[in-house]
Structure 1
Amino acid sequence: MKFSLSALTAAALIATAPWAAAQNVAIVNGKAVPTARVAALEQQIVASGRQIDDATRAQIKEEVVLREVFVQEAQKRGIAATADFKSQMELARQTIMIRALFADYQKKNPVTDAEIKAEYDKFTAANGGKEYRARHILVEKEDEAKAIIAAIKGGAKFEDQAKAKSKDPGSGANGGDLDWANAASYVTEFSEAMIKLDKGQMTPEPVKSQFGFHIIRVDDVRQAKLPAFEELKPQIAQQMQQQKLAEFQRSLREKAKVQ
């Protein structure tokens, strides 16, 4: 039996048709749209933290087809030749390249577990020790502060005096309550006076700071309760990665010869 060349060609096309179809998501106005475009969009969605199901995958395919339709129309209208399009394309090219540069740097310069642990140790050293549950009343003049101290010693409630006279809008309405905090959270004059007080004690004299005059009372003292290393590790790692990247950016700027 003899086969013509045309018959062999047709048979070959039929044999390769499923393979060719697998490479394309669609044919739009005679132009093939590769499935690689679908994969690229899927990667972007996954990178953003979203899951891809069948419905999302169908939406992505339709999006790819629509883009091809719109691009073909833009090409027909000569959009690619306009100055605005060219300038926007250059900006997009720069953005993509810069993003790839930063991703490459972070991949090659990861934050190590040892670096994260060292940063955690610095955090615990700065925030460990004692925490104080304190209250304060803030006024502008020393004489006014002394009068409030005298009134409290005479039987007036500290909380009522704070609500009525404190200039600190954050704590005044709450009876002067500053919640739990370590001494380093306050200005030096305030913290130095506070740590000298025992539980339930009030400063016998007004404490002057840049904000005015304070009357301070310590309601309770406890050892600081800090989060465990594993709990803070992801947050510290992210912060350190950002710091490394920022330093990389600064170093490039400093080395660049700009005239």
Structure 2
Amino acid sequence: MVKRGQPDTPELRAQVKDNLILVEAMAQRGAAAGLDKDANYQTQVELTRLNLLANAYVTDYMAKNPVSDAVLKAEYDKVKPDLEKEAAAAGAQYKARHILVKDEKAAKGLLAELKKGGNFAELAKKNSIDTGSAQNGGLLDYAAPGNYVKPFADALVKLKKGQYSQEVVKTQFGFHLILVEDIQAAKVPTLEEVKPQLQQQLQQQQLQNLLEEVKKSAKVE
């Protein structure tokens, strides 16, 4: 229970103790009634034993045969061309800021302030209703234009690095002003970035190979 995240407290220990006492007491009554001699009970016990032992073997095997760094690197090199194709298909990534307000008049007022030399980030902090980005000056993570709604994306791709939209952009969310902070080519994820997924895939493959080997080598009568 602690491994699953529950704090180790006297109350938890008391609960565990009470549960064990109850299970033991009920089991004693079941034995006194002769239920441990029942054929169905014996079958369930044997199936449980087999499953526990099989799972213990798999756990032990995987612990003793970890996926090596060399194997991970080889698998990464194998899938890297596909990752490069995906990155190329994704196109440029834009790091932008935006200010979102509810009405067009307010947006045009903010645009006038920008044209007078107003600071985009400060205006976003004070006025944007996008609470997820406003506190960071309207900053959005690097993303492909396709990640945004079409009117926003269309305005975004017309801007160069350092430029802000000269017109208010209307979407279903409200009225936006957009500033492009940076533009970069989509990056191919590094080995370290995809290592957890590759490791899981290779472990699953390793387990499948083990199961096939066990089935082939087993003598069945």
1:187 is aligned to 2:143: no
1:144 is aligned to 2:97: no
1:168 is aligned to 2:122: no
Q: Would you say the 8 A contact 2:107–2:176 is kept in 1?
A: yes
**What is the TM-score normalised by the length of structure 1?**
0.47
Matches within 5 A, 1:15-54: none
- Give the 4+ runs in structure 1 shifted more than 4 A: 113-119, 236-242
Alignment partner, residue 227 of structure 1: 189
Higher relative contact order (CA 8 A, sep 6+): 2
Q: Would you say the 8 A contact 2:87–2:187 is kept in 1?
A: no
Query: How many positions carry a matched residue from both structures?
Result: 163
Give the Cα–Cα distance (whole angstroms) in 1 for the partners of residues 194 and 140 of structure 2. Answer: 25
Structure 2 counterpart of 1:191, which letter?
Answer: A
Q: Would you say the 8 A contact 1:163–1:174 is kept in 2?
A: yes
Q: In structure 1, the residue corresponding to 2:161 is in which secondary structure?
A: coil
Change (3 A) 1:79 1:236: same
Q: In structure 2, the residue corresponding to 1:134 is in which secondary structure?
A: strand
Change (3 A) 1:231 1:76: same
**What is the TM-score normalised by the length of structure 2?**
0.54
Q: Of the two, which has the highest radius of gyration?
A: 1
Change (3 A) 1:219 1:231: closer
Structure 2 counterpart of 1:193, which letter?
Answer: A
Structure 2 residue runs without a partner (length 5+): 1-23, 56-74, 205-221
Change (3 A) 1:79 1:239: same
Q: Would you say the 8 A contact 1:117–1:229 is kept in 2?
A: no
Specify which of 158, 178, 181 is matched with residue 196 of structure 1. Answer: 158
Q: In structure 2, the residue corresponding to 1:135 is in which secondary structure?
A: strand
Structure 1 counterpart of 2:112, which letter?
Answer: A
1:157-192 deviation digits (Å, cap 9, x = unpaired): 211211111010011111111132232332222122
Structure 1 residue runs without a partner (length 5+): 1-69, 100-112, 243-259
Give the Cα–Cα distance (whole angstroms) in 1 for the partners of residues 175 and 201 of structure 2. Answer: 37
1:120 is aligned to 2:88: no
1:36-89 deviation digits (Å, cap 9, x = unpaired): xxxxxxxxxxxxxxxxxxxxxxxxxxxxxxxxxx8xx7574334468x969x87
Alignment partner, residue 57 of structure 1: none
Identical counterparts, % of pairs: 44
Give the Cα–Cα distance (whole angstroms) in 1 for the partners of residues 36 and 117 of structure 2. Answer: 82
Give the Cα–Cα distance (whole angstroms) in 2 for the partners of residues 239 and 217 of structure 1. Answer: 40
Give the Cα–Cα distance (whole angstroms) in 1 for the partners of residues 181 and 119 of structure 2. Answer: 13
